């Protein structure tokens, strides 16, 4: 008992680290715990950290509205990495389709402008038909059509449209422009007024276009370059001697509108007659020589009249050959 009364028990030591950890955990738990009353809730809301956080977010929002710095930074980043990102997605597809459509439209406009330039520089109907694609068209003025029409042989021009009907359209002043359209059957021609109303519709079928191609312009520099006149080439003296043996009315059918040949400079040296018949006409080719170069001009005569002329020319050749044979026999007899 004595010993027990004299023993002193050491007081327990305080662990400040444990106390600090416990108080910090209690504080955290207090911060995340639901406030018990409005006063505690207001205290937490209007504390320093929430106020500073709210001010910082407000400043960022205001600066963004004022200077658009976030959009600028994002745009700069996208521009910098644009070449590295794959072109995929609906936006890229729409952009690609837009570029393709623009290129196609530019090509169409370029082709149309080139077609218009070629059509305006065309000297014949066949050149227009050759330059216009199937289903496409080209617009020319009424005066340009009249120039092309005036260059045609009368027999061909009358098959397209009567000159009296064309004069009537010109006289009333309504005809302003002409639209050419390539079709499966040939070339369609629409005579239009100022409001693009059709005044007259014409059609140049494949047969007429072939006739135009062969008869409206000079084709070569020499008759030897045209195989359709082979073995049917006569000297100018022989041709006109044979032509003079027929009446004036028949000669008009053989060489219609001979006055047009007077417009060509030079001298006629040879004349060829085709062995092909096209729509009741036969081609005659006149080779001119102006002292420096040769030129061939084609005209079309009525089939029945040209056949008579050709038969007469062949008869003259036979008579000439017979005369040469008689002279040769006489020469041999004298020998």
Render pLDDT for 245-277 as a digit per residue (tens, 0 to 9).
999 999 988 988 787 788 788 899 999 998 888
Last residue of a domain, one of 212, 242, 262: 212
pLDDT in tens, 19-61: 445 444 444 444 566 767 777 777 777 778 888 888 898 888 8
Question: Is 280 a member of any domain?
Answer: yes
| Residue 58 covered by a domain | no
Spell 322-331 as b/e; 16+ CB within 10 A means b.
eeeeeeeeee
Both 224 and 252 in one domain: the answer is: yes
Task: Assess contact for 268 and 297: CB atoms under 8 A.
Answer: no
Per the domain annotation, does 78 fall within a domain?
Answer: no
pLDDT for 263 equals 78
Which of 201-205, 245-249, 262-266, 285-289 has the weakest average pLDDT?
A: 262-266
Residues 229 and 179 in one domain: no
Q: Identify the pLDDT of residue 304.
A: 92
Nearest to 187 by CA among 263, 131, 104, 228: 131
* DSSP of 30-66: HHHSPPSSHHHHHHHHTSHHHHHHHHHHHHHHHHHHH
Same domain, 198 and 295: no
Query: Is 159 a domain residue?
Result: yes
**Region of 291 on the Ramachandran plot (φ > 0 left; ψ -120 to 50 alpha; else beta):** left
- Same structural domain, 319 and 296: yes
- Do 162 and 232 fall within a single domain? no
What three-state secondary structure class fits 213?
A: helix
Residue 129 falls inside a structural domain: yes
Residue 19 domain-assigned? no
CA distances for 310 relative to 2, 47, 205, 208, 258, angstroms: 174, 123, 29, 24, 18
Q: What pLDDT, in 10s, does the model give residues 99-133?
A: 888 888 787 777 777 766 766 777 778 888 877 77
Average pLDDT, the chain: 77
- What range does the domain containing 162 cover? 118-212
Calculate what percentage of the chain has a pLDDT beyond 70.
76
- Check residue 305 and give its pLDDT: 92
Among 212, 236, 271, residue at a domain's last position? 212
What pLDDT is attached to residue 119? 67
Domain count within the chain: 2
Q: How confident is the model at residue 228 (pLDDT cuts 50, 70, 90)?
A: confident
For residues 205 and 305, membership in a common domain is answered with no
The long-range contacts involving 264-270, CB below 8 angstroms and separated by at least 24 positions, are 264/288, 264/295, 264/297, 265/290, 266/290, 266/291, 266/295, 267/236, 268/236, 269/235, 269/236, 269/294, 270/223, 270/233, 270/234, 270/235, 270/236
Pair 241, 166 in one domain: no
Are residues 225 and 171 part of one domain? no
Of the residues 212, 237, 254, the one at which a domain ends: 212
Over 70: is that where the pLDDT of 225 sits? yes
Look at residue 219 in the predicted model and tell me its pLDDT: 47
Same domain, 194 and 295: no
**Closest Cα to residue 284, out of 264, 261, 262, 265?**
261
Whether the full predicted model's pTM is greater than 0.75, yes or no, is no
What per-residue confidence (pLDDT) applies to 110? 75
């Amino acid at each position: 008992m004595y010993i027990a009364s004299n023993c002193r028990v050491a007081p327990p030591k305080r662990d400040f680290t444990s106390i600090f950890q416990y108080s910090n955990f209690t504080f955290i738990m207090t911060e995340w715990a639901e406030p018990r009353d409005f006063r505690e809730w207001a205290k937490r809301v209007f504390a320093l950290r929430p106020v500073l956080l709210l001010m910082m977010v407000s400043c960022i929002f205001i600066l963004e509205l004022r200077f658009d710095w976030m959009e600028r930074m994002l745009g700069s980043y996208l521009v910098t990495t644009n070449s590295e990102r794959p072109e995929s997605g609906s936006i890229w597809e729409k952009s690609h389709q837009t570029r393709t459509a623009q290129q196609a439209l530019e090509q169409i406009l370029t082709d149309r402008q080139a077609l218009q330039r070629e059509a305006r520089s065309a000297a014949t109907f066949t050149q227009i038909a050759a330059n216009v694609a199937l289903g496409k068209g080209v617009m020319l003025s009424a005066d340009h059509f009249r120039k092309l029409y005036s260059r045609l042989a009368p027999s061909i021009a009358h098959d397209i449209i009567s000159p009296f009907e064309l004069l009537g359209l010109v006289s009333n002043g309504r005809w302003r422009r002409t639209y050419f359209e390539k079709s499966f059957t040939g070339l369609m021609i629409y005579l239009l007024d100022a409001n693009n109303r059709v005044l007259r519709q014409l059609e140049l079928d494949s047969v007429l276009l072939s006739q135009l191609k062969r008869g409206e312009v000079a084709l070569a520099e020499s008759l030897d370059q045209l195989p359709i006149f082979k073995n049917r080439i006569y000297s100018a003296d022989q041709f006109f001697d044979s032509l003079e043996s027929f009446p004036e009315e028949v000669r008009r059918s053989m060489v219609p509108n001979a006055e047009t040949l007077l417009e060509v400079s030079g001298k006629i040296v040879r004349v060829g007659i085709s062995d092909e018949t096209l729509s009741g006409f036969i081609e005659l080719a006149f080779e001119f020589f102006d002292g420096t170069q040769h030129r061939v001009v084609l005209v079309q005569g009525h089939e029945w009249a040209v056949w008579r002329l050709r038969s007469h020319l062949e008869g003259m050749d036979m008579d000439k050959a017979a005369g040469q044979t008689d002279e040769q026999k006489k020469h041999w007899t004298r020998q």
